[in-house]
Chain A
Amino acid sequence: MDNLLNIFIKSAFIENMVLAYFIGMCSFLAVSKSVKTAIGLGAAVIFVLALTVPINWVISELVLGPNGIFKTDLTFLRFILFIASIAASVQLVEMAVEKYSPSLYNALGIFLPLITVNCAILGAALFMVAREYNFAESVVYGIGSGFGWALAIIAMAAIREKIRYSHVPAPLRGLGIAFILTGLMGMAFMALMGINPATYMQQ
């Protein structure tokens, strides 16, 4: 139990997808113009990550691994199967949400299909494999990293709504300042693991 809580905190804050690894940046920068849409996309990402990370765990253990149903090492097929399962589950989620909760579907709008190409989803699946989590850990990791991503995009959207009232130099307005803000937020999040360039030098 301690271990699971640990993974949740670690994936949500210390190893935050956006602010520590800078993964999932495209939609993070493109959709963070207003808090309302940021909340919608954040919720959708949490949901899809909580679903796809365990599904991909099952695929990588039971289908691709040497102990899986084919008894051979099929890891070279990992990308294709992962992305296919992500695309399929996003499609399924979209259809289910459309059927059972049209209001939520309208709120999320185009963000649901866009999630397929959010690097954070595939990134989480690949990190899950690289860190050799078991099933329960991968569920918690999916929820935690989704939560971290949502937190980051909502915070960013709130800052960008406020920054409209400041005197930013014209060429830096919009995208430029968003990049610099993300960098500053990233550095703030780094305080959670300690800012020591020597640890990065070794990588």
Chain B
Amino acid sequence: MAETMTKTAVEKEKLEWFGPKERKLITDPLNDDNPVTVQILGVCSALAVTTMLKPALIMAIAVTVVTGFSNLVISLMRNGIPKQIRMIVQLVVIAFLVTVVEQVLKAYSYPVWKQLSVFIGLIITNCIVMGRLEAYAMANPPWRSFLDGLGNGAGYGLILIAVAAIREFFGRGAFMGYKILGATDEFLLNTSKHWWLSWYQPNGLMVIPASAIFLVGIFIWIQRSRNPKLVDVS
């Protein structure tokens, strides 16, 4: 009896569009359950595209679209997929969505596509997408799965954008491609002309891929010292 009661309660809950649970699905992955810093999902492609902000922004949008819609599609099909071939079905859905995103990008923003081509392809094997499908979409209704996908894509994008902004500013003295600080006249602030800025040197470390990994490590440090629940006790 109690079981049926809880079951109907769960079913009633499903009808809400933006209840507290749904909002939590979006906000949780931004901090407490961040895919990159907590779940270790999607680190792979996160690091190579973060030298500049613009490709990182596009990558973040692409991943959010793919996670959201693949969660939605798999959640709609979840009762019809045989267990043995579920991985292949999931991969085909993901690969289809990634191909769509890639072709759209190729059509509307060719230079960015050229820069990102291999990494857009790697969204297929980005563990975020598959990880969320396995962990959430296979067992939950479509609308919630969609929100969960969007939330996790956004949490991934947040890290990506933060890393890219820091790397672009300190490594190249630029922001979104606008040159701000540098030693030539191309830059907004020509450091060689102001005596109080003449000490400025761009930080070469930030251009090197390894810096992205240091930054994520430091983000994890900051996040865990602010939120002791996440600290690794083992």
> Which residue from chain A places its CB closest to the CB of B212 in the assembled complex?
A22
A100 close to chain B: CB less than 8 A: no
- Residue of A21, A88, A130 ringed by the most chain B CB atoms within 10 A: A21
Contact A195 B121 (CB under 8 A): no
Contact B211 A76 (CB under 8 A): no
CA distance in complex: A173, B224 (Å): 10
A175 and B220 contact, Cβ closer than 8 Å, known pairs A22-B44, A123-B118: yes
Contact B122 A200 (CB under 8 A): no
Interface residues of B, CB < 8 Å — how many? Answer: 55
Q: Give B34 Cβ to nearest chain A Cβ, in Å.
A: 11
B198 close to chain A: CB less than 8 A: no
The 10 A-B pairs at the shortest CB distance, nearest first, are namely: A174-B232, A179-B217, A197-B204, A171-B224, A183-B213, A119-B44, A171-B225, A180-B217, A186-B210, A176-B220
A171 and B234 contact, Cβ closer than 8 Å, known pairs A88-B88, A183-B211: no
Contact B232 A26 (CB under 8 A): no
Chain A 116-132 interface mask (CB, 8 Å, partner B; 1/0): 11110111001100100
Contact A87 B208 (CB under 8 A): no
Chain A 96-133 interface mask (CB, 8 Å, partner B; 1/0): 00000000000000000100111101110011001000
A29 and B40 contact, Cβ closer than 8 Å, known pairs A79-B102, A123-B122: yes
Contact A187 B122 (CB under 8 A): no
A175 and B44 contact, Cβ closer than 8 Å, known pairs A22-B209, A79-B102, A200-B207: no
Residues in A with CB closer than 8 Å to B217 are: 172, 176-180, 183
A79 and B210 contact, Cβ closer than 8 Å, known pairs A179-B216, A183-B217: no
Interface residues of A, CB < 8 Å — how many? Answer: 53
Q: Give B102 Cβ to nearest chain A Cβ, in Å.
A: 7
Task: Say what secondary structure dominates the interface of chain A.
Answer: helix
Residues in B with CB closer than 8 Å to A26 are: 40-44, 127
Chain B 98-109 interface mask (CB, 8 Å, partner A; 1/0): 110011000000
A1 close to chain B: CB less than 8 A: no
Contact B118 A83 (CB under 8 A): no
> Which residue from chain A places its CB closest to the CB of B220 in the assembled complex?
A176
Contact A76 B103 (CB under 8 A): yes
Q: Give A184 Cβ to nearest chain B Cβ, in Å.
A: 8
Q: Give B2 Cβ to nearest chain A Cβ, in Å.
A: 36
Contact B121 A79 (CB under 8 A): yes
Contact A175 B48 (CB under 8 A): no
Q: Give A43 Cβ to nearest chain B Cβ, in Å.
A: 20
Residues in B with CB closer than 8 Å to A186 are: 209-210, 213
> Which residue from chain B places its CB closest to the CB of A177 in the assembled complex?
B217
- Residue of A173, A174, A176 ringed by the most chain B CB atoms within 10 A: A176
Query: Could you count the A-B residue pairs with CB atoms below 8 Å apart for me: how many are there?
Result: 152
CA distance in complex: A171, B130 (Å): 28
- Listed in ascending order, the chain A residues whose CB lies under 8 Å from chain B are 20-26, 29-30, 76-80, 83-84, 87-88, 91, 113, 116-119, 121-123, 126-127, 130, 169-180, 182-184, 186-187, 190, 195, 197, 200-201, 203
Q: Give B150 Cβ to nearest chain A Cβ, in Å.
A: 21
B221 close to chain A: CB less than 8 A: yes
Q: Give A190 Cβ to nearest chain B Cβ, in Å.
A: 7
Q: Give A11 Cβ to nearest chain B Cβ, in Å.
A: 15
A119 and B126 contact, Cβ closer than 8 Å, known pairs A23-B44, A126-B121, A172-B221: yes
A117 and B40 contact, Cβ closer than 8 Å, known pairs A180-B214, A203-B51: no
Residues in A with CB closer than 8 Å to B221 are: 169, 171-172, 176
Residues in B with CB closer than 8 Å to A200 are: 51, 207-209
Residues in A with CB closer than 8 Å to B228 are: 171
Residues in B with CB closer than 8 Å to A203 are: 51
